[in-house]
């Protein structure tokens, strides 16, 4: 056990496994790295493991960390490991296919390879490595603590829910082939999955650390996460509120309208923390005026939380680097949409970057110009009507309901394919429809319908967080390949993937924040889209302090810290719109219209936006 640490409740009497989770962009990686440094500084042997497909643990430490345990320079006792999803998937696929490559007919091998080539299989392969660290403690016997920097919330929940689901699924498997591989050959994994679930739900071995920001949406997501994980059986939980505006930065009030507004929003959000979260032990970590990259910065992040000395740590200087001349505005993007006519606009990105806000602003501006617009989402956590807060002429708002889509899909398959089966066959089919990979297929069918509606109107799609979106696109690719095989050289056809790959029909807009981790994950998304033959049409950098031109020394220091991220985005795409951080939340039609009101980025409009 670890000795008590003042001001850091989540690091008091730490069990062997520490599991950090939360909405994308809340600072899990920085906190996981900082916590690992603190524990190693007490003489503990620590392994920091990332299960995030877009991990940047190595970048935070300023070293190369890969899919092998690596010592972190400058921190004795600390090792790090980044699970490489693609490498894990390749090895997983080979382990299943290679033994039967010379036995099965080519068509069956092709079908198996197809089944094991999707994003779902990649997730499963990563999960296998994750479970081995939990279930087989001999593999981590050299360490006092193992810290997990998890993927964004949606992905994490899938990983954590799988042990229980798969234990049942494997018990009842009849030799089917799924994205897990041939079920009959997976019985040996039951022990690992059961062991992982036992470790996760044992408070003597595992602590859940829910990381959030002092923001309404992030806290709401944290509450949903805690409810689901508590239902899973994870009872030892702590709350960390990261990035709280330090007191010294807002003294005296009135110095900077934007800073005062941010602090007021934070205070209101923290006062409204749901009771379940409020009852948890809480650690508050102040916002730093610089990026937490490198061991010295990480040590400072959790050193003397209550006695944070802003005066000595805030960089000096008044100048904020200018935005690149070729950056554009959201209004100019809408001009280009309008010029090209009806089509699909897909706002994509990790959770917490403002996809819903950007999608709503784009749809509102198109509708205001008299176009018929459908604004819809595949994100179960999105709240489009709350964002708009008004009925707008020419604008229809819908939501793809995953639960209803799944229920309708199962009923349809049972009524069709199951009609000709006997009782045993229907039972097997029903079991297959409850497997972990069915849900995305069900949602995809409704997604495909939305894609084709864009032939006659503008459709703005607020997608789910990146992990779910890629599963949808993977399903699109599988559908495309199947239709291509069936149609052969027959009649002409257009599949959803073909529409997504055609920039005259679909404009993919990647939304990010001017911070290291969001930009890194957005770049990973761009690379994944490229493998599907899809090229992003534009990027939107949301909530930029550089574009807001603040007057507070603290916010100006934070604006300077955006420079590397903005420069990185400029290198990744030729069409980039930068949105300023607003003094009020972009909720309601008038506030959303502000985001598309300015035709260009100038210092004057930045300050008044």
| 307-350 pLDDT per residue, tens | 334 444 444 455 777 787 789 999 999 999 999 999 999 999 87
Q: What is the pLDDT of residue 424?
A: 81
Evaluate if residue 254 carries a pLDDT over 90: no
pLDDT bracket for residue 128 (50, 70, 90): confident
pLDDT bracket for residue 486 (50, 70, 90): low
User: In whole angstroms, what is the distance from residue 437 CA to residue 508 CA?
Assistant: 25
Closest CA to 128 of 96, 154, 104, 168: 96
Q: Which residue bears the tokens 């029909």?
A: 505
User: In whole angstroms, what is the distance from residue 395 CA to residue 503 CA?
Assistant: 23
Range with lowest mean pLDDT among 248-257, 273-282, 421-430, 432-441: 432-441
Q: E strands along 357-514, which residues?
A: 373-377, 395-397, 458-462, 506-512
Q: What is the pLDDT of residue 440?
A: 64
CATH topology identical between 9-304 and 330-608 = yes
471 phi and psi angles, rounded to 5 deg: -65, -40
Q: Is 478 exposed, middle or buried (0-12, 13-18, 19+ CB in 10 A)?
A: middle
- In sequence order, the 6+-apart residues with CB closer than 8 A to the CB of 77 are 40, 43, 44, 45, 46
Higher pLDDT, 221 or 194: 221
Evaluate if residue 173 carries a pLDDT over 50: no
Higher pLDDT, 505 or 136: 505
Range with lowest mean pLDDT among 144-148, 487-491, 521-525: 487-491
Q: What is the pLDDT of residue 86?
A: 76
Higher pLDDT, 57 or 304: 57
Q: Looking at the annotation, which residues are catalytic?
A: 25, 27-30, 52, 517
Q: What is the pLDDT of residue 467?
A: 59
DSSP-derived pairing of the beta strands 177-178 and 181-182? antiparallel
Structural domain boundaries of the chain? 9-304, 330-608
pLDDT bracket for residue 582 (50, 70, 90): confident
pLDDT bracket for residue 528 (50, 70, 90): confident
Range with lowest mean pLDDT among 178-192, 537-551, 567-581, 582-596: 178-192
What is the rounded end-to-end Cα distance, in angstroms, of the chain?
51
User: In whole angstroms, what is the distance from residue 569 CA to residue 358 CA?
Assistant: 17
Higher pLDDT, 185 or 38: 38
Range with lowest mean pLDDT among 19-33, 63-77, 477-491, 496-510: 477-491
Highest mean pLDDT among 125-134, 202-211, 414-423: 202-211
Q: Does 330-608 carry CATH code 3.40.50.300?
A: yes
Q: Is 265 exposed, middle or buried (0-12, 13-18, 19+ CB in 10 A)?
A: middle
Highest mean pLDDT among 266-280, 370-384, 414-428, 474-488: 266-280
And the tokens for 420?
Answer: 């000709």
pLDDT bracket for residue 491 (50, 70, 90): low
Q: What is the pLDDT of residue 235?
A: 83
Q: What is the pLDDT of residue 232?
A: 79
Range with lowest mean pLDDT among 175-179, 259-263, 301-305: 175-179
What's the chain's average pLDDT? Answer: 80
User: In whole angstroms, what is the distance from residue 539 CA to residue 522 CA?
Assistant: 9
Strand order in the sheet with 46-50: 70-71, 78-82, 46-50, 145-149, 17-21, 206-212, 237-244, 282-286
Range with lowest mean pLDDT among 224-238, 341-355, 438-452: 438-452
86 phi and psi angles, rounded to 5 deg: -70, -40
User: In whole angstroms, what is the distance from residue 43 CA to residue 35 CA?
Assistant: 13
User: In whole angstroms, what is the distance from residue 357 CA to residue 217 CA?
Assistant: 12
- In sequence order, the 6+-apart residues with CB closer than 8 A to the CB of 265 are 214, 215, 216, 585
Q: Outline where 492-588 has alpha helix (H).
A: 496-501, 516-531, 545-548, 553-561, 563-572
Instruction: Evaluate whether 19 touches 206 at the Cβ level (below 8 Å).
Output: yes
Higher pLDDT, 528 or 379: 528
Q: What is the pLDDT of residue 112?
A: 75
Range with lowest mean pLDDT among 77-86, 296-305, 401-410, 485-494: 485-494
**What are the pLDDT digits (tens) for 586-603?**
888 888 888 898 765 544
Q: Averaged over 6-23, what is the pLDDT? A: 88
**What are the pLDDT digits (tens) for 65-104?**
887 889 999 999 999 998 877 787 788 788 878 888 888 8
Evaluate if residue 43 carries a pLDDT over 50: yes
DSSP 247: G
Q: Averaged over 557-573, what is the pLDDT? A: 91
User: In whole angstroms, what is the distance from residue 60 CA to residue 28 CA?
Assistant: 12
**Reported CATH class of domain 9-304:** alpha beta
Q: What is the pLDDT of residue 175?
A: 40
pTM score, two decimals?
Answer: 0.77
What percentage of residues in the chain have a pLDDT greater than 70?
79
């Amino acid at each position: 056990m670890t000795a008590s640490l003042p001001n850091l409740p989540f690091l008091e009497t730490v069990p062997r496994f520490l599991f950090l989770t939360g909405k994308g962009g809340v600072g899990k990686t920085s906190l996981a790295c900082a916590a690992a440094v603190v524990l190693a500084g007490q003489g503990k042997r620590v392994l920091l493991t990332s299960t995030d497909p877009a991990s940047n643990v190595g970048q935070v430490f300023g070293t190369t960390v890969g899919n092998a345990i690596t010592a972190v320079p400058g921190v004795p006792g600390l090792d790090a490991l980044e699970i490489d999803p693609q490498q894990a998937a390749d090895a997983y696929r080979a382990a299943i296919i290679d033994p039967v490559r010379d036995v099965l007919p080519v068509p069956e091998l092709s079908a198996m390879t197809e089944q094991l080539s999707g994003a779902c299989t990649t997730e499963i392969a990563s999960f296998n490595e994750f479970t081995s660290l939990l279930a087989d403690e001999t593999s981590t016997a050299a360490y006092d603590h193992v810290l997990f920097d998890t993927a964004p919330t949606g992905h994490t929940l899938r990983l954590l829910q799988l042990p229980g689901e798969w234990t049942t699924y494997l018990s009842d498997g009849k030799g089917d082939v799924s994205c897990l591989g041939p079920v009959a050959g997976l019985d040996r994994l039951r022990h690992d999955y059961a062991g992982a679930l036992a470790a996760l739900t044992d408070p003597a071995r595992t602590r859940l650390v829910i990381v959030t920001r002092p923001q309404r949406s992030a806290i709401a997501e944290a509450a949903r996460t805690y409810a689901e994980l508590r239902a899973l059986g994870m009872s030892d939980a702590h709350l960390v509120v990261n990035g709280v505006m330090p007191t010294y930065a807002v003294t005296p009030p009135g110095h900077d309208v934007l800073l005062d507004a941010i602090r007021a929003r934070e205070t209101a959000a923290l006062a409204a923390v749901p009771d379940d979260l409020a009852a948890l032990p809480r650690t508050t970590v102040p916002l730093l005026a610089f990026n937490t990259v490198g061991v010295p910065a990480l040590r400072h992040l959790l050193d003397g939380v209550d006695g944070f000395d802003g005066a000595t740590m805030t960089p000096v200087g008044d100048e904020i680097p200018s935005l690149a001349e070729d950056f554009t505005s959201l209004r100019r993007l809408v001009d280009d949409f309008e010029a090209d006519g009806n089509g699909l606009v897909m706002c994509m990105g990790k959770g917490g970057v403002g996809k819903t806000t950007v999608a709503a602003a784009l749809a509102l501006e198109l509708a205001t110009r008299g176009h018929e617009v459908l604004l819809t989402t595949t994100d179960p956590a999105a709240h489009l009507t709350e964002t708009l807060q008004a009925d707008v002429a020419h604008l229809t708002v819908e939501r793809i309901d995953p639960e209803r889509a799944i229920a309708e899909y199962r009923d349809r398959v049972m009524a069709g394919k199951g009609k000709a089966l006997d009782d045993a066959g229907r039972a097997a089919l029903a079991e297959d429809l409850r497997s972990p990979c069915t849900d995305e297929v069900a949602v995809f069918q409704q997604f495909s319908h939305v894609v084709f509606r864009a032939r006659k109107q503008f459709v703005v799609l607020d997608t789910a967080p990146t992990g779910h979106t890629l599963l949808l696109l993977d399903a699109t690719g599988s559908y495309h390949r199947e239709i291509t095989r069936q149609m052969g050289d027959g009649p002409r056809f257009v599949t959803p993937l073909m529409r997504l790959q055609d920039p005259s029909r679909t404009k993919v807009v990647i939304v990010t924040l001017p911070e290291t981790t969001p930009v890194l994950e957005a770049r990973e998304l761009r690379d994944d889209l490229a493998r599907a033959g899809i090229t992003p049409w534009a990027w939107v950098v949301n909530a930029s302090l550089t574009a807001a031109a603040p007057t507070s020394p603290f916010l100006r220091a934070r604006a300077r810290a955006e420079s590397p991220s903005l420069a990185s985005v400029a290198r990744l795409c030729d069409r980039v719109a930068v949105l300023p951080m607003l003094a009020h939340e972009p909720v309601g039609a008038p506030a959303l219209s502000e985001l598309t009101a300015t035709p260009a980025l100038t210092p004057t409009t930045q300050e008044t936006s």
